[in-house]
């Protein structure tokens, strides 16, 4: 099958195949693309090309749906067994864990990345600087500014030993 024939098939059937695949999966475009790639790989097109395409798309969409469900189950299990960032047990600061998580999520990506890497990842500012492509001093400034923003949003007082 030549590129012109393939282009004609894509132009003619891709939209309908995407619509067909959408009833089973959330990534119908990927499934249709995979079907056309499979058609190219087999070399000689099947005698009943259109039914073949629909069957390959259907099977691919069902497989994609199963894979998505497996991934969601795996992610849910992993999330449930992962250590929590904020413990619901005794917290002398009285900070609400959900509010803290939401406030952290509201920070700029660069700042949030540095705070998470330092507090929960245990990385030094030099290691973080290497990771994000910045200087250690810049990382520290973003970290300090991010913590101050979190304190203000959460109404938390600055610890007595921190200036």
Structure confidence at residue 162 (pLDDT): 58
pLDDT in tens, 101-134: 888 888 998 899 898 889 888 889 999 999 889 9
Q: What torsion, rounded to 10 degrees, do the Cα atoms 32, 60, 3, 42 define?
A: -170
Q: Which domains does the chain have, with CATH numbers?
A: 3-81 (1.10.1740), 97-154 (1.10.10.10)
- Report percent pLDDT > 70 for the chain: 89
The pTM of this model reads: 0.51
Query: What is the CA angle 145-148-100, rounded to 5?
Result: 115
CA 58, CA 35: separation in Å to the nearest integer? Answer: 10
Q: What torsion, rounded to 10 degrees, do the Cα atoms 65, 71, 72, 76 define?
A: 160
Average pLDDT across the chain, whole number:
87
């Amino acid at each position: 099958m030549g590129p012109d024939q393939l282009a004609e098939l894509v132009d003619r059937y891709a939209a309908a195949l995407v619509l067909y695949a959408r009833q089973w999966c959330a990534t119908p475009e990927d499934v249709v693309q995979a079907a056309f790639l499979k058609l190219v790989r087999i070399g000689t097109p099947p005698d009943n090309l259109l039914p073949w395409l629909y069957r390959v798309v259907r099977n691919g969409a069902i497989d994609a749906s199963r894979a998505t469900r497996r991934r969601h189950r795996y992610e849910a299990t992993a999330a449930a067994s992962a250590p929590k960032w904020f413990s619901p047990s005794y917290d002398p600061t009285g900070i609400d864990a959900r509010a803290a998580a939401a406030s952290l999520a509201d920070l700029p990506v660069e700042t949030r990345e540095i705070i998470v890497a330092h507090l929960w990842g245990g990385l030094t500012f030099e290691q973080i600087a290497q990771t994000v492509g910045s200087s250690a001093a810049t990382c520290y400034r973003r970290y300090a500014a991010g913590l101050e923003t979190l304190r203000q949003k959460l109404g938390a007082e600055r610890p007595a030993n921190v200036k």
